Amino acid sequence: MVSTHTYPRLLFPPKGSFFLFGPRGTGKSTWLRTTFPSAHTIDLLDESLYQSLLADIGRFAGELRAVPKGTVVVVDEIQRIPSLLNEVHRHIEDRGLRFVLCGSSARRLKTAGTNLLAGRAVRRNMHPLLPEELGRDFDIESILRWGSLPVVWSAPDREEALAAYAQLYLKEEVQAEALVRNLPGFARFLPIAGLFHGQVINIAGIGRDAGVARTTISGYLTILEDTMLTFTLPAFEARLRVRERRHPKLYWADSGIPRAMKRQLGPVAAEERGHLFEGWIASVLRAYRDYGNLFDEWFYWAAGKGSGVEVDFLLRKGSALVAIEVKSSRNVREAELTGLRAITELPGVRRRLVVHMGDRSLATGDGIEILPVPAFLREVERGTIFP
């Protein structure tokens, strides 16, 4: 059954001005209306407004001068006209206005004045819906299949909404903003990138499969990250020489998005289940880092080049490390604990956890904790994952 009500979000606004970023469809605009009901809103998705400001950017300053001092001003899709940040800066300083600058892409802001607001506007990120936000509506099988973007989760037909999401991304985020010169090449790249969800990035392999040059693939991957659709997880490297550095892992921000890019929207296939589950755990950890400072840094860990012995996540908070292995099966086999046993030698490791889709919490004789999803989520939500 599809829920149509608005879910309470875990994100709390800072006291001053801030940027709010997140992929399209994460519910940023809905959250802004709920959190700042009396704000003065300037929505750059309004095409007539957008065109008028492009023609005469001075109109933005004129509108701000008419706003009473101390007012909250929401500028939605700020990345469409980055030069507005000059006036934002001035009105924070001169008139004490509080700005909420919302966007689904940081690409054009990187080189377009964001540093003018250094120290005056912090950054917050909005993520797909979490189990804690969904409450009784949380269903792991639905999330693995369709993801938990509010725009998809609350749609009458989730499959149709996901397919439309992928097309809308190409049309409005990539084509309209002229992010790539070769749109057909980028369209061929997207389903290939979807196959790399939860895997170490192989630029040459992606380029070969997509029929696109290796240097172009690097740019395409940057576009995905800048538009908030993907994020990367670095390898843990202790005193390695530059030539020994490992490639990062690629994760999509929501489990439904890579399935949409692959046009694979039916029931979850056995071969994709493990990567989808691992990717969902990654997105949950990342959200709680942003919402509640769950950890300081995170990595994946590998014992040695070519050994094949890895641990999915290594979280650091202060000097303490927590190692997490993710298994989509209901029963964890002894052979699947090899990585967590090998990482014991790493200084600072305080806990070793396996998250699995079974029903029972277990512990091995050498201290590895095996947790079902609900038990793991309780620790993450309470912030007790570090001892």
Together in a domain, 263 and 153: yes
The pLDDT, as a whole number, for residue 3 is: 45
Together in a domain, 298 and 261: no
Q: How far is CA 37 from CA 25, 73, 74, 75, in A?
A: 20, 11, 10, 14
pTM above 0.85, yes or no: yes
Together in a domain, 231 and 322: no
Together in a domain, 157 and 262: yes
- Residue 218 maps to which CATH number? 1.10.10
Instruction: Classify residue 339 by its DSSP letter.
Output: H
- Estimate the crossing angle of helix 58-65 against helix 47-55, to 10 degrees: 110
Q: What range does the domain containing 346 cover?
A: 293-382
Domain boundary among 125, 152, 177: 125
Task: Evaluate whether residue 236 is within a structural domain.
Answer: yes
Residue whose C-alpha is closest to residue 191's, from 263, 128, 255, 132: 263
Together in a domain, 201 and 258: yes
Per-residue pLDDT of the chain (387 residues; tens, 9 = 90+): 344 468 999 999 999 999 999 999 999 999 999 999 999 999 998 999 999 999 998 999 999 999 999 899 999 999 889 889 888 988 888 888 999 999 888 777 766 545 456 556 788 999 999 999 999 999 999 999 999 999 999 999 999 999 999 888 887 777 766 667 778 888 899 999 999 999 999 999 999 998 888 889 999 999 899 889 999 999 998 754 444 568 999 999 999 999 999 999 999 999 999 999 999 999 999 999 999 999 999 999 998 766 778 999 999 999 999 999 999 999 999 999 999 999 998 999 999 999 999 999 999 999 999 999 999 999 999 999 998
Together in a domain, 205 and 337: no
